[in-house]
Homo-oligomer: A and B are copies of this chain.
Amino acid sequence: MDEFRAYRARMNERIGEIDHLGIKRFFRLDSAAYEDGALDAKTKELLGLVASAVLRCNDCIDYHVEQCIAAGWTDDELFDGLNVALVVGGSIVIPHLRHAVESIDIVRAEQP
């Protein structure tokens, strides 16, 4: 997880250096999508986690697991959300369910 965080931070900085207006705006739009609006930020992070799970993107799952835990979702709530992803996306989601559960355990273990 630490390795992934360092890689993500390093490459996001490198992508920032590219200074492509469209890419920069996309990154801002992506951040803004999870801020409080008609839905609160907490709900949106859970939407982001389930969307990442059905689209089977482990890096995206890790990012939203961290945000979901910071936003106050309990493990049982996260597992219940991941169950929706599993039913919608099928057994092909199972490897990503394993990854999500592992990441939830790692992030919880880091909490003080």
Interface residues of A (CB under 8 A from B): 7-8, 11-12, 14-15, 18, 20-23, 25-27, 29-30, 32-34, 37-39, 43-44, 46-48, 50-52, 54-57, 59-60, 74-77, 79-95, 97-98, 101-102, 105
Contact = CB atoms under 8 A, between A and B. Distances in A.
Task: Report copies per complex.
Answer: 6
In the A-B complex, list the 3 residue pairs whose CB atoms are closest, starting with the nearest: A90-B90, A38-B76, A11-B98
Given A29-B26, A97-B15, A101-B18, A47 B81 contact: yes
A29 B92 contact: no
B29 A22 contact: yes
A51 B48 contact: no
Given A43-B43, A51-B50, A89-B92, A15 B98 contact: yes
Contacts of A85: 47, 51
Contacts of A12: 98
A63 B98 CA distance: 14
A80 B38 contact: yes
Nearest to A28: B25
